[in-house]
């Protein structure tokens, strides 16, 4: 059938909203009518080229490229049709997308680390998780890949059943959408990866869609001091509404205040959630973090970047840690229902995350607003 999607044909180009062909779901797959898609910074990394694999990795992919690709990995919708053998969901079910699939059977899934599921290996390039072939095609018949095996910037999606999670039907789908990436990633970066405890001092660097949720996660875990760092005044103000206790324009500016409020011990953890993770930010975060503390790298760095500014001797001698995280180190099938329960109880301010809704045709305006610092999160609302 025909549907519409925002397609990126090459880095540096705008999103092209076009009619595409989508096949019926095959075995183990579901057809979903998309309700909302979030404008996460990770899709912008495709446009800037930061998240385009370097040539030596591209060579290993079928066709040697990830383009053209349907963007979007934060989303929610309603199941329209299920393929052979699907028992997890049925037509009419409301679902959250999961940008890391969970097979439930691989060693990572079996150990409760579904965010590291073996099926997530081919997030970029190639076709369906199920059999490697494509369900989406341009109007001229070329195969179309999908961001994180989802492609939520489309009116319809055919997804592996390992990429969807059933949610309660009375929940607002725009909230289910936000939880599918930004909320889970930010909240989990604080609660699971930084292991924030009651009384901690936590610094959150970059207060957009992910950082705002890291602040809420740190607050939920009982942090005493939550220091928000963002150069944009509006983000600093919103950070205070989400639970930050202090806000600064740069890590450098935050240092004296963190020193004073911790009697020189510095933060228990610093969570890096700026739009792009550049190598020089790591040592700045280490400087804000005290002995035995943790720096969590949640933001994504350019794939070609391998240099990091890091005082290794002090990392050793002060027993500090630098930790990466994907999906806030949470298991999608467990975390998404839990976060939605906290929202239902009024304990997470998720409605407040959405600054503006856009139509699919306005997607480039949405990303312009994100880059201009106007949005905590923009979402695309489909009919």
Ligand X SMILES: NC(=O)c1ccc[n+]([C@@H]2O[C@H](COP(=O)([O-])OP(=O)(O)OC[C@H]3O[C@@H](n4cnc5c(N)ncnc54)[C@H](O)[C@@H]3O)[C@@H](O)[C@H]2O)c1
- Could you say which of 32, 40, 301, 376 contacts Zn ion (CB under 5 A)? 40
Number of residues near ligand X (by CB under 6 A): 31
Whether residue 212 lies in the annotated active site: no
Q: Establish if 370 lies at the interface with ligand X (CB under 6 A).
A: yes
Whether residue 181 lies in the annotated active site: yes
Q: Establish if 5 lies at the interface with ligand X (CB under 6 A).
A: no
Going by C-beta distance under 8 Å and a sequence separation of 6 or more, which residues neighbour residue 71? 6, 7, 8, 15, 43, 46, 147, 151, 152, 153
- Binding partner of residue 230 among ligand X, Zn ion, none, CB cut-off 5 to 8 Å per kind: ligand X
Helix (H, G, I), strand (E, B) or coil at 201: strand
Question: Least distance to Zn ion from the beta carbon of 312, Å?
Answer: 30
Question: Least distance to Zn ion from the beta carbon of 331, Å?
Answer: 10
- Binding partner of residue 270 among ligand X, Zn ion, none, CB cut-off 5 to 8 Å per kind: none
- Binding partner of residue 117 among ligand X, Zn ion, none, CB cut-off 5 to 8 Å per kind: Zn ion
- Could you say which of 66, 76, 109, 214 contacts Zn ion (CB under 5 A)? 109
Q: Establish if 106 lies at the interface with Zn ion (CB under 5 A).
A: yes
Question: Least distance to Zn ion from the beta carbon of 207, Å?
Answer: 15
- Binding partner of residue 244 among Zn ion, ligand X, none, CB cut-off 5 to 8 Å per kind: none
Q: Establish if 42 lies at the interface with ligand X (CB under 6 A).
A: yes
What DSSP line would sit under 254-317, residue for residue? HHHHHHHHTTT--EEEEEE--SS--THHHHHHHHHEEEEEEEEE-SPPPTT-------HHHHHH
- Binding partner of residue 151 among Zn ion, ligand X, none, CB cut-off 5 to 8 Å per kind: none
Whether residue 41 lies in the annotated active site: no
The whole-angstrom separation of Cα 47 and Cα 271 is: 25
Going by C-beta distance under 8 Å and a sequence separation of 6 or more, which residues neighbour residue 271? 189, 190, 193, 194, 202, 203, 204, 205, 211, 214, 218, 295, 296, 298
Name the segment binding Zn ion (CB under 5 A); options: 116-124, 146-154, 236-244, 331-339.
116-124
Determine the angle formed by the axes of helices 251-261 and 280-288, rounding to 10 degrees: 20
Q: Establish if 120 lies at the interface with ligand X (CB under 6 A).
A: no
Distances in whole angstroms, Cα of residue 370 to Cα of each of 52, 178, 185:
20, 15, 18
Torsion of CA 356, 203, 41, 307, to 10 degrees: 160
- Could you say which of 15, 31, 42, 95 contacts Zn ion (CB under 5 A)? 42
Helix (H, G, I), strand (E, B) or coil at 186: helix
- Could you say which of 106, 240, 276, 322 contacts ligand X (CB under 6 A)? 276
Of 159, 165, 164, 101, give the one whose Cα is nearest residue 135: 159
176: left (phi over 0), alpha (psi -120 to 50) or beta: alpha
Whether residue 106 lies in the annotated active site: no
Rank residues 138 and 185 by Cβ distance to ligand X and give the closer one. Answer: 185
Name the segment binding ligand X (CB under 6 A); options: 10-18, 25-33, 321-329, 350-358.
321-329
Which is the catalytic residue, given 97, 177, 181, 207?
Answer: 181
The whole-angstrom separation of Cα 29 and Cα 163 is: 9
Name the segment binding ligand X (CB under 6 A); options: 57-65, 165-173, 205-213, 310-318.
205-213
- Could you say which of 230, 246, 293, 333 contacts ligand X (CB under 6 A)? 230
The whole-angstrom separation of Cα 270 and Cα 232 is: 19
Whether residue 73 lies in the annotated active site: yes
- Binding partner of residue 183 among ligand X, Zn ion, none, CB cut-off 5 to 8 Å per kind: none
Q: Establish if 298 lies at the interface with ligand X (CB under 6 A).
A: yes
Extended beta strands in the chain, E state:
2-8, 16-22, 29-38, 69-70, 75-82, 94-97, 136-138, 145-146, 156-160, 164-167, 201-205, 225-229, 246-248, 267-272, 289-297, 321-324, 354-358, 377-381
Question: Least distance to ligand X from the beta carbon of 148, Å?
Answer: 10
Residues that bind Zn ion in the complex, under the rule CB under 5 A: 40, 42, 103, 106, 109, 117, 181
Residues that bind ligand X in the complex, under the rule CB under 6 A: 40-42, 45, 181, 185, 205-211, 229-232, 235, 273-277, 298-300, 325-327, 370, 373
Residues noted as catalytic: 40, 42, 45, 73, 181
């Amino acid at each position: 059938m025909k549907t519409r999607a925002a397609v990126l044909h090459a880095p540096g180009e705008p999103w092209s909203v076009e009619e595409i062909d989508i096949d019926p779901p095959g075995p183990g797959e579901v057809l979903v009518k998309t309700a909302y898609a979030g404008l996460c910074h990770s899709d912008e990394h495709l446009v800037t080229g930061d998240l385009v694999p370097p040539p030596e990795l591209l060579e290993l992919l079928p066709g040697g490229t990830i383009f053209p690709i349907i963007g979007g990995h934060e989303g929610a919708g309603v199941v329209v049709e299920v393929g052979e053998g699907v028992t997890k969901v049925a037509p009419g079910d409301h679902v959250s997308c999961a940008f890391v699939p969970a097979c439930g059977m691989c060693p990572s899934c079996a150990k409760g680390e579904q965010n590291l599921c073996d099926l997530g290996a081919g997030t970029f390039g190639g076709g369906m998780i199920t059999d490697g072939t494509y369900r989406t095609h341009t109007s001229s018949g070329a195969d179309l890949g999908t961001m994180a095996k989802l492609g939520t910037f489309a009116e319809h999606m055919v997804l592996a059943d390992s990429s969807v999670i059933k949610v309660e039907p009375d929940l607002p789908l725009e909230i289910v959408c936000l939880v599918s990436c930004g909320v889970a990633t930010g909240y989990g970066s604080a609660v699971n990866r930084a292991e924030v405890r009651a009384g901690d001092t936590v610094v959150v660097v970059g207060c957009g869609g992910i950082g705002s949720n890291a602040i809420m996660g740190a607050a939920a875990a009982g942090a005493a001091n939550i220091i928000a760092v963002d150069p944009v005044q509006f983000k600093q103000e919103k950070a205070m509404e989400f639970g930050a206790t202090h806000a600064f324009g740069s890590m450098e500016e935050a240092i004296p205040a963190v020193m004073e409020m911790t009697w020189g011990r510095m933060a228990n953890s610093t969570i890096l959630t700026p739009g792009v993770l550049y190598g020089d930010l790591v040592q700045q975060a280490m400087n804000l973090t005290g002995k035995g503390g943790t720096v969590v790298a949640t933001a994504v760095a350019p794939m070609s970047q391998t240099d990091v500014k890091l005082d290794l001797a002090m990392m050793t001698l002060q027993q500090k840690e630098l930790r990466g995280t994907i999906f806030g180190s949470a298991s999608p099938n467990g975390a998404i229902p839990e976060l939605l329960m906290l929202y239902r109880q009024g304990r997470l301010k998720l409605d407040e995350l959405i600054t503006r809704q856009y139509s699919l045709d306005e997607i480039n305006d949405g990303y312009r607003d994100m880059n201009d610092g106007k949005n905590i999160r923009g979402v695309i609302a489909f009919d």
